[in-house]
Amino acid sequence: MEHNIKKRSSFSGGIGFVLAAAGSAVGLGNLWRFPYLAAQYGGGIFILVYIILALTFGFALMSTEIAIGRKTKQSPGLAYKTLHKKFGFLGYLAALVPIIILPYYCVIGGWVVKYMVTFVSGQGLSAAEDTFFPTFIGDTGSPLIYYAIFLGFTAIIILLGVNKGIEKISKFLMPLLLLLSVVIVIYVFTLPNAAEGIKYYLLPDFSKFSVMTVCAAMGQMFFSMSLAMGIMITYGSYSRNDVNLTKSVNQIEIFDTIVALLSGFMVVPAVYIFSGEAGTKASGAGLMFVTLPKVFEQMNGGVFIGALFFVLVFLAALTSSISVMEAIVSSFMDRFKLSRTKSSVICLIICVAMGIPSSLGNGIWSHIKLLGMDFLTFFDYLSNSLLMPFVALCTTILVGWIVGPDVVTDEITKNGEKMGRKKLYRIMVRYVAPILLVIILISYSLAQFGIITM
Ligand code: TRP
């Protein structure tokens, strides 16, 4: 990301840095992925595990990445190498994650475009029918067209280099998304039997706890907070030395988690009310698309609110897909010394090659399974459950045991900043995080191959 070095000091200070990092963090991970995982993994217990992980593990990993970035002032590939010459490979591994994520991210982005178009053209009520979603994603041509539209938008913005403009617009529109979410949540609270649904969403039921809950929550945390893929190193490298790092990490985490919890509130209690506990698991990755139209159907002016909502979700998804693609394109430019256009074209080709199976895997290619999963689920699994925990594990070994946690804590405290959770940090990177990650990687893989059941 050498071409970005000019920009390295461009964050205007603490708040500019936090907004940029939070803007990258908030996206489909919060709006689409978090609610369906929460529904699938037992509601309250998932939320509890997620919050505990975010406060301990997420805090440690995000501080580490931002501090490494700020200390080395390098892109991820070079940053790891600067810390230790044998760890340059981590930069490559981390750079692989966005390449796996972008294609299926754009497939889901395409679904959002479909819903946006349906609601904006006044057809919102038809989306509330049970058959609407499965028929749409099971089709061959139509989801591919919407996928192409979403990917096209992303690519054009990257090629024209106008992403800064989009970011400015979205900074202004994201609070609106937040406000609208609050309105929808309040409405969900007024539905009959709302209390039951809210209970399912918030009250942890410890009998539903399993290693899978931790695996899912951990993968979700990586995805949602853009961790273990070099992104936060890049952001750290742009941040100024006088930025209070711990405070920024807290703010980014709190903001990202609040948006996720709110999205869960819109979807999980409602699905519980409409279709009971079985319903919370039945729709899987399509939960948001199945449940929200039903909520809008019940609301006064629901078609209008639905239209506004999906436009805003579209923008949130677009700003994230732009930064994922930007991460890929700039690492191609760095590594292979290619022009922006050439890098973008290569990225597009990869994206089309991997995105088409991700889309068709819900329809005519649904008989093809990789480790028992359709393509989209497989790519999601590969990145969030294997690659990212592995990158995180290597990072904690590097920082905890090889260069030592002082590298990070010194970087954080070098301008007199107090690090409140310094002890916790040291214990996290040296012991808790690596052990937890090893357990997760092993048990998840064993379960995937059917050797153990969880
Ligand atoms: N964190 C983003 C979300 O919640 C998704 C994401 C994954 C991302 N990798 C990224 C965003 C890289 C920006 C850059 O939707």
Predicted local distance difference test score (pLDDT) of residue 2: 40
Tell me: pLDDT of 7 over 50.
no
Is there an atom of ligand 1 within 6 Å of 327 CB? yes
Tell me: pLDDT of 359 over 50.
yes
Mean pLDDT score across all residues of the chain:
88
* Mean pLDDT computed over 367-390: 90
Q: Residue 6 — very low, low, confident or very high, per pLDDT cuts 50/70/90?
A: very low
- CA atoms within 13 A of residue 367's CA, in its CB half-sphere: 1
Report the distance separating Cα 17 and Cα 236, nearest Å.
9
* Mean pLDDT computed over 190-206: 91
Is there an atom of ligand 1 within 6 Å of 25 CB? yes
Predicted local distance difference test score (pLDDT) of residue 3: 44
Q: Residue 1 — very low, low, confident or very high, per pLDDT cuts 50/70/90?
A: very low
Is there an atom of ligand 1 within 6 Å of 330 CB? no
Tell me: pLDDT of 452 over 70.
no
Tens digit of each residue's pLDDT (9 = 90 or more) over 95-126? 999 999 999 999 999 999 999 999 999 999 99
Cα separation values, 427 from 56, 63, 142, 328, Å = 10, 14, 51, 33
Tens digit of each residue's pLDDT (9 = 90 or more) over 34-69? 999 999 998 999 999 999 999 999 999 999 999 999
Predicted local distance difference test score (pLDDT) of residue 9: 45
- The end-to-end CA distance of the chain, in Å, is 41
Atom of ligand 1 nearest to the CA of 28: 15
Tell me: pLDDT of 372 over 90.
no
- Residue 370, SS3 per DSSP: strand
Tell me: pLDDT of 165 over 70.
no
Tens digit of each residue's pLDDT (9 = 90 or more) over 292-307? 999 899 888 889 999 9
Q: CB count, 10 Å around CB of 30?
A: 27
The best mutation among 108, 319, 323, 326 to test binding of ligand 1, ranked by most ligand atoms within 8 Å of the C-beta, falls on 323
Predicted local distance difference test score (pLDDT) of residue 33: 95
The best mutation among 157, 223, 238 to test binding of ligand 1, ranked by most ligand atoms within 8 Å of the C-beta, falls on 223
Q: CA geometry: angle at 70 spanning 68 and 74, to 5°?
A: 75
Q: Residue 265 — very low, low, confident or very high, per pLDDT cuts 50/70/90?
A: very high
Tens digit of each residue's pLDDT (9 = 90 or more) over 86-100? 998 999 899 999 999
Q: Is 81 in contact with 91 (CB distance < 8 Å)?
A: yes
